[in-house]
Amino acid sequence: MDCAAPIRAEDANVRFLLIEDDAQIADSLARALRAGGDRVDVYGTCRDAEQALRSVEYALLILDLGLPDRDGANLLRDLRARNDHTPVLVLTARDELDERVRVLDLGADDYLSKPFDLAELQARIRAVTRRALARSGGEIAVGKLRLDLASRHADVEGNILELSPRELGVLEVLLLRRGRVVSKQQIQEHLCDWSEELTDGAIELYVHRLRKKLKSADVDLRTVRGFGYLLRDSAAAA
């Protein structure tokens, strides 16, 4: 897939590659990511990972370093050597500063030491994938609505939408998870960089404002009672 082309609603589910030889960690991580609607392929060796990377385009590689057949850092080095820019988040028990510097210099996008908090890992995953899309000049398009992730401008058929920073942030998470229900908690987590707490009432207000501004966009922004919000193409909704 050409990263510069708009990402359509049918591409909604993100696909991750998890390279982890600890079966318990791999299983718990895969279940947590799949619970959010994402697809996850899990392998425990560099050899299997190499084969997967050559046949599938992944949004993110979550990479352990201490693998049984090869050091994960060598896999990372080979990826970058062949100009493969798949985002890589290293997840490892190695927490020495020299090791972090070495792996980041090899081309890792982020580095998290074990043990880790799941909420922090999920936040880092969101940050890495957002940065990768922005660097690629990627766009998300649903109906007549388009969001340019690099410039952070949303438009409807070329007409720029006047959005506050928080309205834009809410729209971004709804578009990134288009076609799936997004809970208020997921919206709060997406906007976790804000210093002020984002209340449920504030989220409801921003969604209400977005509905008004998206009337001509041919999108359906629906409240799913007790679960959250769903953004999709109006034609798909019909």
How remote is the C-alpha of 109 from its chain's centroid? 13
Contact 67, 44 (CB under 8 A): yes
Query: What domains sit in the chain, N to C, each tagged with a CATH number?
Result: 13-136 (3.40.50.2300), 139-237 (1.10.10.10)
pLDDT (average), residues 182-187 = 85
Phi, psi (rounded to 5 degrees) for 170: -65, -45
CA-wise closest residue to 149 among 130, 164, 167, 162: 130
CA-wise closest residue to 133 among 58, 45, 59: 59
Report the C-alpha gap between 36 and 28 in whole angstroms: 13
Please write the tens of the pLDDT for every residue from 195-236.
456 788 999 999 999 999 999 999 999 999 888 999 999 876
Q: Supply the pLDDT for residue 127.
A: 82
Report the C-alpha gap between 134 and 227 in whole angstroms: 29
Where is pLDDT greater, at 152 or 67? 67
User: Which one-letter DSSP state was computed for residue 161?
Assistant: -
Q: Supply the pLDDT for residue 16.
A: 93
Contact 91, 105 (CB under 8 A): no
Q: Is the pLDDT of residue 10 over 80?
A: no
Report the C-alpha gap between 109 and 8 in whole angstroms: 25
Report the C-alpha gap between 113 and 95 in whole angstroms: 6
Q: Is the pLDDT of residue 47 over 70?
A: yes
pLDDT bin (cut points 50, 70, 90) of residue 2 is very low
Contact 172, 190 (CB under 8 A): yes
Please write the tens of the pLDDT for every residue from 68-88.
999 999 999 999 999 888 999
